[in-house]
Amino acid sequence: MADRLAEIAGNAAASFGGRATRRNTIHLTLAFLGEVPESRLPELCVVADGIKAPSFSMVLDRLGYWHHNRLLWAGSQGPVTTLGELVRQLRNALANSGFLVDAEKKGFVPHVTLVRKIPASTEPRENQPFPSFESLTWRADRFVLVRSRLSSSGSEYLILREFSLS
């Protein structure tokens, strides 16, 4: 899955410009917490351990583009109910434990970022068809707690802990 998404990202970056997501950083964010003090990581793990949600599959079958942050993404044309329930449960549990979740307060749009920082001069235009790709099925049987660090090559992610979905 990661190989195929990285290939789609590379092809899209070659067409539109921008920075393709590297294979080892492909992910779908459930809840963005921003800066969390290291002293609160055990508490964060207890919250995540308390999430009881089933494993699920998500079909990635469409590309989208957000003009406001010049970002090309892959997502699902249909709703992914089980994923939505996992996100709702996780975000509520985090907020109830005093963690600030997604400071921008935007709604959850399940997506995998493929290309960032597409230049305005080459960005996809309205009604412009995206390159087609064969749909991919993302099977999720776990979620992870990740620490993100910015580097000259983009974000670097370190998995701190894994949590199983039933």
d(CA 80, CA 56): 9
* Strands, sheet with 19-20, edge to edge from the N-terminal-most edge strand: 19-20, 112-116, 71-75, 62-66
Report the CATH fold assignment for 2-164: Cyclic Phosphodiesterase; Chain: A, (3.90.1140)
Question: What is the pLDDT, as a whole number, of residue 91?
Answer: 94
Question: What is the pLDDT, as a whole number, of residue 104?
Answer: 58
Q: Pick the range with the lowest mean pLDDT from 39-43, 80-84, 128-132, 149-153.
A: 128-132
Question: What is the pLDDT, as a whole number, of residue 102?
Answer: 79
As a whole-number percent, the residues of the chain with pLDDT over 90 amount to 78
SS3 content of the chain, % helix, strand, coil (to 5): 30, 30, 40
Per-residue burial over 103-136, b = 16 or more CB atoms within 10 Å of its CB, e = otherwise: eeeeeeebbbbbbbebeeeebbeeeeebeebeee
Residue whose C-alpha is closest to residue 153's, from 27, 47, 25: 25
CA distances from 42 to 48, 58, 142, 157 (A): 10, 30, 18, 19
Q: Average pLDDT of 36-53? A: 96
Query: Can you give the residue ranges of every domain in the chain?
Result: 2-164
State pLDDT tens for residues 51-103: 999 999 999 999 999 999 999 999 999 989 999 999 999 999 999 999 998 75
Average pLDDT in the chain: 91
pTM: 0.89
List the Cα angle 112/116/122 in 5-degree steps.
120
State pLDDT tens for residues 112-141: 999 999 999 998 887 777 778 899 999 999
